[in-house]
A and B are shown apart, each in its own frame.
Chain A
Amino acid sequence: MEDFVTEWTARHGATRDRLLPLLHAVQAEAGHIDDALVPAIAKALNLSRADVHGVVTFYHDFRRAAPGRHVVKLCRAESCQARGGAAIERTAAQRLGVAMGETRGDGQVALEPVYCLGLCAIGPNALVDGRPVARIDAAALERIALEVAA
């Protein structure tokens, strides 16, 4: 992955404002941002390791450990709550066998909170491996559970 950082910065620039795009690129490539890679990222952009660590840990999107093979992001915001989101959240945790904010022990699925996907009139909503799903009810949860079991 250190080669990836070197090549990326050679192509896209190595100024501080490239840090977020670089972190996105690393995570897209490796699935997460390993702590062991932080010194290389810091060196490439002429930042301190504390700078990079501070940014990685500040943003909710950046993961320091490998995610589940499937990621279900379920909206917890007000509009989805107004459409029964809290009950769907409880059912989803039961059906997928993993608590909100965690990755299941077998690494098969992660259930993550998201605060608004901008689909607020057709909630409760989710992103299942990046695909938007609206009006989630028990039947939709069952389809999602079967999908992420594969």
Chain B
Amino acid sequence: MRVFVSRDMASVALGADDVARAFVDAGCNVVRTGSRGLFSIEPLVEVETDEGRIGFGPVGPGDVAAILDGTHAARLGRVEALPFFASQQRFTFARCGITDPLSLADYAAHGGWQGLAAARAQSPQAVIDAVKASGLRGRGGAGFPTGIKWQTVLDAPGAEKYIVCNADEGDSGTFADRMLMEGDPFCLIEGMAIAAHAVGAGHGYIYIRSEYPYCITTMRAAIDASAHLVAPFVLEVREGAGAYVCGEETALLDSIEGKRGQVRAKPPLPALQGLFGQPTVINNVLSLAAVPFVLAQGADAYAAVGFGKSRGTMPVQLAGNVKHGGLYEIGFGITLGELVNDIGGGTASGRPVRAVQVGGPLGAYFPPSMFHLPFDYEAFTAAGGLIGHAGITLFDDSVDMAHMARFAMEFCAVESCGKCTPCRIGSTRGVEIMDRIIGARDAAPSGAGGAVGGYLDKALYSRSPARIDTSLDAQTALLRDLADTMKYGSLCALGGFTPYPVLSALDHFPEDFGASAPLKEAAE
């Protein structure tokens, strides 16, 4: 009997290895797949039967006997029929959770390599035209049109050109890159090979963060297994070393080159002078993994789904304090509230949702009053936020938003590459301002802008205490001024976007900053 058990890092963290071993011990033929992406039913086990693959979950090693004799209570039926899966549009993640990630035969049997074959039958320009026509925009966060980036590289003169995959998925609340690389690595390889054909590149790098050890192992094995199929294109995995800023494309390039991962000033664009000074396509995992579908199924099939200028699907990641967390791929346009409440089922704790952070640590916090927002790059920008890598992190009503604003500043201070002053110094000053605000709030629970002198670090400020206006209004004004400097003065998104979580927390949850009632009304 064939049994399918995920080998995804999340499934393993929940005990999937023990479950798989128990099925092997029971004499089953166990196939390790990627994860389907619904973690509330992981470890998920699927048993092959005459009526298809029947799911059970969550499963522990002790459940094996009951599953095999058909008496287990946690029988889910066909996984595709569960509401969480039935309502998805799985373009990029079509194979994830279904196939053995390292089986070339499995990949080919499920439509693999059709996109590459189609691309190689066309001219590079025709491939780029198809990517342009699909409306595919970079899924790494900035949303830049992928086809235009490729066109720039194709047209740029250069002795050697490179394809670099940004797999430095450092944002909390995002795990789509990790799941794809662990669950369907050939899809990414195929996308990179198509990009190589389109721009004339001979070498490619996949820069994977060291926090993803399973990805690194799986991608290296997949590259070895498929080398003959993508030749003469040569691929290599480069392991990061624990620096969030290397998710920024120019810092990532410096890191591959063996330098400190510091951002470069743009221009020149990496498309013109990127890795080793040569024209370089640098795309996110999901952007490259979307390309095989575009070439195999046609640009129109991809562009037919979506909303406004945001075409195709977005693998949304429901994270944090969420009941049904996981990966949910759907066309753009679904509202934030539908994702949080209908798909995610609200909080895991059962308490009311108070805030959701969209787009990772540099994304804005939104209150439930903004859940009508459609998932769309332009709509989120207009609302003072960003979709980023489409991670949605839920917080219940126990969250302290001033603490979260302080954490955003602290994270920026820890992870700043140090190259530009607004980010390097601004984030440290931001932590200090937040400490004063939180101190004032806690010293005067009634809020209303009490003085904060008692909290100040005397060693730091005793020399000129008279020059510090310690009122809450003055401190929040200083915070906004600092955020403005960081936003417009930083070289990259780390310093430039840290104001999003900080100011959105202040604007939408002023009561956590000890603000008086009138300020709260003014902010809303």
Chain A residue numbers with a CB within 8 Å of B259 are: 16, 51, 55
Are B13 and A78 interface neighbours, CB within 8 A? no
Are A118 and B399 interface neighbours, CB within 8 A? no
Kindly state whether residue B260 has any CB partner on chain A within 8 Å.
Answer: yes
Stretch at the interface among B78-86, B118-126, B171-179, B467-475: B171-179
Kindly state whether residue B350 has any CB partner on chain A within 8 Å.
Answer: no
From residue B293, how far is it (CB to closest CB) to chain A in Å?
A: 23
Are A78 and B9 interface neighbours, CB within 8 A? no
Residue in contact with B241 in the complex, picked from A61, A115, A122, CB distance below 8 Å: A61
Are B395 and A20 interface neighbours, CB within 8 A? no
A58 to B260, CA, bound (A): 6
Chain A residue numbers with a CB within 8 Å of B394 are: 82
- Looking at A16, A21, A120, the one whose CB has the most chain B CB atoms below 10 A away is A120
Residue in contact with A130 in the complex, picked from B42, B179, B213, B319, CB distance below 8 Å: B213
Interface residues of A in 54-90 (CB under 8 A from B): 54-55, 58-62, 77-83
Are B242 and A61 interface neighbours, CB within 8 A? yes
A16 to B457, CA, bound (A): 45
Are A24 and B239 interface neighbours, CB within 8 A? yes
A112 to B203, CA, bound (A): 35
Interface residues of B in 186-218 (CB under 8 A from A): 210-213
A109 to B241, CA, bound (A): 21
Stretch at the interface among B299-307, B321-329, B376-384, B483-491: B321-329
Chain B residue numbers with a CB within 8 Å of A103 are: none
Chain B residue numbers with a CB within 8 Å of A19 are: 258
Instruction: Name B363's closest neighbour in chain A (CB-CB).
Output: A78
- Assuming A117-B211, A118-B175, is B393 touching A79 (CB within 8 A)? yes
Chain A residue numbers with a CB within 8 Å of B242 are: 59-61
Are A20 and B39 interface neighbours, CB within 8 A? no
Chain B residue numbers with a CB within 8 Å of A54 are: 260
Instruction: Name B355's closest neighbour in chain A (CB-CB).
Output: A82
From residue A46, how far is it (CB to closest CB) to chain B in Å?
A: 11
Kindly state whether residue A132 has any CB partner on chain B within 8 Å.
Answer: yes
Are A121 and B326 interface neighbours, CB within 8 A? yes
Are B211 and A116 interface neighbours, CB within 8 A? yes
Instruction: Name B37's closest neighbour in chain A (CB-CB).
Output: A121
Are B258 and A17 interface neighbours, CB within 8 A? yes
A115 to B412, CA, bound (A): 12
From residue B495, how far is it (CB to closest CB) to chain A in Å?
A: 17
- Assuming A78-B393, A121-B319, A121-B322, is B175 touching A20 (CB within 8 A)? no
Are B12 and A132 interface neighbours, CB within 8 A? yes
Residue in contact with A77 in the complex, picked from B12, B172, B261, CB distance below 8 Å: B172
Chain A residue numbers with a CB within 8 Å of B276 are: 17
Kindly state whether residue A18 has any CB partner on chain B within 8 Å.
Answer: yes
Q: Scoring B residues 152 to 180 as 1 if CB is less than 8 Å from chain A, else 0, what string do you get?
A: 00000000000000000111111101110
Chain B residue numbers with a CB within 8 Å of A134 are: 10, 13-14
Chain B residue numbers with a CB within 8 Å of A148 are: none
Are A120 and B391 interface neighbours, CB within 8 A? yes
Are A78 and B210 interface neighbours, CB within 8 A? no
Are A20 and B239 interface neighbours, CB within 8 A? yes
Chain B residue numbers with a CB within 8 Å of A24 are: 210, 239, 241
Chain A residue numbers with a CB within 8 Å of B404 are: 78, 81
From residue B110, how far is it (CB to closest CB) to chain A in Å?
A: 24
- Looking at B169, B212, B261, B393, the one whose CB has the most chain A CB atoms below 10 A away is B393
Kindly state whether residue B256 has any CB partner on chain A within 8 Å.
Answer: yes
Are A78 and B357 interface neighbours, CB within 8 A? yes
Kindly state whether residue A114 has any CB partner on chain B within 8 Å.
Answer: yes
Are B13 and A121 interface neighbours, CB within 8 A? no
Kindly state whether residue A133 has any CB partner on chain B within 8 Å.
Answer: yes
Q: A119-B13, A120-B175 are in contact. List 5 more A-B contacts (CB 8 A).
A: A58-B243, A60-B241, A119-B175, A121-B10, A132-B9
A56 to B366, CA, bound (A): 39
- Looking at B179, B240, B319, the one whose CB has the most chain A CB atoms below 10 A away is B319
Chain B residue numbers with a CB within 8 Å of A20 are: 238-241, 255-256, 258
Chain A residue numbers with a CB within 8 Å of B213 are: 130
Q: Scoring B residues 291 to 331 as 1 if CB is less than 8 Å from chain A, else 0, what string do you get?
A: 00000000000000000000000000111111001100000
Instruction: Name B15's closest neighbour in chain A (CB-CB).
Output: A134
Chain B residue numbers with a CB within 8 Å of A32 are: none
Q: Scoring B residues 4 to 38 as 1 if CB is less than 8 Å from chain A, else 0, what string do you get?
A: 00000110111000000000000000000000000
Kindly state whether residue B361 has any CB partner on chain A within 8 Å.
Answer: yes
A83 to B350, CA, bound (A): 12
Are A83 and B320 interface neighbours, CB within 8 A? yes
Kindly state whether residue A135 has any CB partner on chain B within 8 Å.
Answer: yes
A1 to B219, CA, bound (A): 29
Interface residues of B in 381-416 (CB under 8 A from A): 391, 393-396, 399, 404, 407, 411, 415
Instruction: Name A55's closest neighbour in chain B (CB-CB).
Output: B260
From residue A96, how far is it (CB to closest CB) to chain B in Å?
A: 19
Are B39 and A116 interface neighbours, CB within 8 A? no
From residue B216, how far is it (CB to closest CB) to chain A in Å?
A: 10
- Assuming A58-B260, A120-B391, is B211 touching A21 (CB within 8 A)? no
